[in-house]
């Protein structure tokens, strides 16, 4: 019996349906236009990347990579994967020497292919993998030793032990490359910058992207497992504070353009490789003094990442955190000067901001300028945009020394906030509904629909004959502005009946009159 159970979308992912999708498109179009006016070009990035890219940039210890990334082993070599699967499922219920012999042969063949594949780069020659293969080789030798003995319970047990060993070791070999669904796109932009030698391009490289990202977070309003970002990045030789300020100016110009009001821009500098580690130690020491008054999460973070304690939303911790040493008092001279100039450049552009020394961001690559924008109507997940400077990230990924700064807007949250503000007004969905009756009317209707659509109008033409009343009812429900009626009388007179649905005013018109009337409206 075929399963008839309904298959639903995966938890935390959504469909975006019309007419909402039209509003999404309008917002994306606004981003394209605003960003282009600041000299940005679109980069289309892959949705899958090597896990290593995110581990190295976003940070192996961050929630985004460690807890939330979707990844899989891409079986570059089907044979090897199949071998691996077959060997790990191999039944040890063996009294049969022939079967043992076959198994031994498979394993040796597997080992041979494995070595070849590592040499050719078909499977990753990571340190872990090389060690796993070495260990596997050892157990194959042990296996060979156990093989000649065929019978007896004790021997069988010994054999079982060897097989278990082989199996465990084979499982620890990573046949395919680890591929992740991107949790964000800054890392990909940096990868692409290096891969395409963009450092040789004139001026700063200014790129934007629009697309889905994936994080296995606990779904709630404004937090999804597949969500959409509109982001932009500037990469180049300069870390001039004017770049930081213009980036924020562009961001706010975009929000103004789409009609999002009531925004708050939070700004901070989290220092550089010089001053931040020192501050982190000062902070850690201060946190240790108040450790007993903190919750379990914060206590753990004193060791792992003290800066993240500043993110805490736990009410009882707020008073304690407010009294902690602040990064602004521990910036080195260069960072202090840079931050002062960023603020002056924002002032020059008339951009208001709140200084927020607790804004540390959850990704490892940031340094100096960090910022976040919150929007109304979103509840707990009210950060609609986050960004900051990440000088040195390109270098960390194997590229030339490069400065970088960027942001990403959470498009889902942006749309929620626009909706809450009543700014999602749908465009009229339909201009004309053509009602035709009788075989002779259909070809006339088809031609008219072609003409009107060619003129850019939204037209609905029923695929089969409807009764007038039913057709007009549907036209109304679809929100059509006009109905054009084509029946026997119209065909005979060589005219159309044009009905304005808002007030039911009806006129008899020639095709030329019809076109000019519709274009006017
Ligand atoms: P992020 O702060 O991780 O930064 O994400 C940016 C924005 O994406 C957030 O402010 C939020 O609006 C949205 N967002 C994040 N996670 C979710 C989710 N699960 N559901 C819905 N929306 C979400 C970055 O991703 C950096 N790459 C930004 C950046 C670009 N920094 C420099 N350049």
Evaluate if residue 343 carries a pLDDT over 90. Answer: yes
Helices (H) and strands (E) in the chain, counts: 19, 16
pLDDT tens-digit map of 475-497: 999 999 999 999 999 999 999 99
Atom of ligand 1 at shortest distance to CA of 372? 10
Which residue, chain included where needed, has tokens 């901001």? 353
Q: What is the pLDDT of residues 450-465, one digit of tens each?
A: 999 999 999 999 999 9
Ligand 1 contacts CB of residue 215 (under 6 A): yes
Tokens coding 257: 């353009």
- State the helix-helix crossing angle for 78-89 and 97-120, rounded to 10 degrees: 150
CB atoms < 10 A from the CB of 63, how many? 16
Per-residue confidence (pLDDT) for residue 90, from 0 to 100: 64
Average pLDDT over every residue of 112-136: 84
* The token pair that represents 121 in the structure block: 């780069």
pLDDT at residue number 77: 67
∠ CA 513-518-520, rounded to 5°: 95
- Cα(146) to centroid of ligand 1, in Å? 55
Atom of ligand 1 nearest to the CA of 58: 27
For every residue of 309-349, DSSP letters joined together read GGG---HHHHHHHHTS--GGGS--HHHHHHHHHHHHHHHHT
Q: Is the beta carbon of 383 within 6 A of some atom in ligand 1?
A: yes
Q: What residue's CA is closest to ligand 1, atom 30?
A: 407
Q: Mean per-residue pLDDT for 182-211? A: 98
Cis peptide before 157 (omega within 30 of 0): no
pTM of the model: 0.87
CA distance 450 to 328: 65
Vertex 226 angle, CA 221 and 227, to 5°: 65
CB 435 within 8 A of CB 277: no
CB of 184 closer than 6 angstroms to any ligand 1 atom? yes
Binding site membership of 366 for ligand 1 (Cβ less than 6 Å):
no
Separation of CA 363 and ligand 1 centre (Å): 10
Q: Answer whether residue 150 shows pLDDT above 50.
A: no
Measured in Å, residue 319 CA sits from the centre of ligand 1 at 28
Q: What is the DSSP string of 497-516?
A: EEEETTTTEEEEE-HHHHHH
pLDDT tens-digit profile of 158-180?
677 777 777 788 888 888 888 99
At residue 484, what are phi and psi to the nearest 5 degrees?
Answer: -110, 125
Q: Whose CA is nearest to atom 13 of ligand 1?
A: 410
User: What is the predicted pLDDT for the residue at 495?
Assistant: 96
* Interval between CA 184 and ligand 1 midpoint (Å): 7
Q: 213 C-alpha to center of ligand 1: Å? A: 9
pLDDT of residue 100: 66
Q: Is 470 exposed, middle or buried (0-12, 13-18, 19+ CB in 10 A)?
A: exposed
At residue 372, what are phi and psi to the nearest 5 degrees? -145, 150
The residue assigned the tokens 């990704």 is 363
Distance 185 CA to ligand 1 centre (A): 9
Residue nearest to atom 4 of ligand 1 (CA): 386
Cα dihedral sign, 27-32-35-41: positive
Given a cut of 50, is residue 110 above it in pLDDT?
yes
Closest atom, ligand 1, to C-alpha of 406: 33
Cα 131 to ligand 1 centroid, rounded to whole Å: 37
Ligand 1 centroid from CA 189, angstroms? 15
| pLDDT > 90 in the chain, percent | 71
Whether 412 lines ligand 1, by a CB cut-off of 6 Å, is yes
pLDDT tens digits for 283-312?
A: 999 999 999 999 999 999 999 889 999 989
Per-residue pLDDT reduced to its tens digit, 176-194: 888 999 999 999 999 999 9
């Amino acid at each position: 019996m075929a399963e008839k159970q309904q298959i639903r979308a995966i938890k935390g992912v959504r469909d975006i349906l019309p007419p909402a999708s039209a509003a999404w498109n309008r917002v994306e179009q606004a981003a394209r236009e605003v960003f282009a006016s600041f000299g940005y070009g679109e980069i289309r990035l892959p949705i899958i990347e090597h896990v290593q890219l995110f581990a190295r940039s976003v940070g192996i210890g961050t929630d985004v990579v460690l807890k939330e990334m979707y990844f899989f082993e891409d079986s570059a070599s089907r044979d090897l994967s199949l071998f691996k699967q077959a060997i790990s499922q191999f039944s040890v219920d063996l009294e049969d020497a022939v079967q043992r012999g076959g198994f031994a042969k498979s394993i040796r063949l597997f080992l041979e292919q494995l070595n070849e594949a590592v040499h050719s780069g078909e499977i990753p020659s990571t340190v872990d993998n090389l060690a796993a293969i070495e260990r596997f080789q050892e157990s194959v030798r042990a296996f060979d030793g156990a093989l000649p003995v065929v019978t007896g319970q004790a021997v069988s047990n010994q054999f079982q032990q060897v097989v278990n060993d082989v199996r465990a070791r084979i499982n620890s070999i990573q046949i395919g490359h680890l591929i992740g669904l991107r949790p964000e796109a800054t890392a990909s932009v940096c990868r692409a910058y290096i891969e395409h030698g963009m450092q040789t391009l004139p001026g700063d490289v200014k790129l934007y992207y629009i697309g889905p990202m994936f994080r296995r977070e606990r779904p709630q309003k404004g937090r999804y497992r597949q969500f959409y970002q509109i982001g932009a990045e500037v990469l180049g030789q300069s870390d001039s504070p004017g770049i930081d300020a213009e980036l924020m100016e562009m961001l706010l110009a975009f929000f103004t353009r789409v009609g999002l009001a009531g925004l708050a821009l939070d700004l901070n500098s989290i220092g550089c490789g010089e001053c931040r580690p020192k501050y982190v130690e000062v902070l850690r020491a201060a946190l240790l003094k108040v450790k007993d008054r903190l919750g379990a999460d914060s206590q753990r973070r004193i060791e792992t990442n003290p800066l993240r304690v500043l993110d805490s939303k736990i009410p009882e911790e707020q008073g304690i955190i407010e009294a902690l040493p602040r990064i602004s008092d521990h910036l080195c001279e260069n960072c202090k000067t840079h931050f002062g100039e960023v603020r002056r450049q924002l002032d020059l552009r008339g951009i208001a901001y709140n200084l927020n020394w607790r804004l540390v961001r959850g990704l490892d690559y940031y340094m100096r300028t960090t910022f976040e924008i919150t929007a109304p109507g979103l509840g707990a997940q009210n950060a609609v945009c986050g960004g900051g400077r990440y000088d040195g990230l390109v270098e960390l990924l194997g590229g030339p020394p490069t400065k970088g700064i960027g942001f990403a807007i959470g498009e889902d949250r942006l749309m929620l906030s626009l909706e809450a503000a009543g700014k999602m007004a749908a465009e009229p969905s339909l201009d004309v509904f053509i009602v035709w009756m009788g075989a002779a009317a259909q070809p006339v209707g088809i031609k008219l629909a072609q003409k009107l659509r060619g003129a850019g109008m939204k037209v609905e033409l029923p695929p089969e004959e409807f009764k007038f009343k039913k057709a007009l009812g549907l036209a109304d429900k679809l929100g059509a502005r006009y109905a054009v009626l084509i029946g026997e009388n119209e065909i005979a007179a060589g005219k159309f009946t044009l009905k304005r649905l808002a007030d039911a005013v009806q006129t008899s018109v020639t095709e030329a009159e019809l076109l000019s009337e519709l274009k006017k409206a």
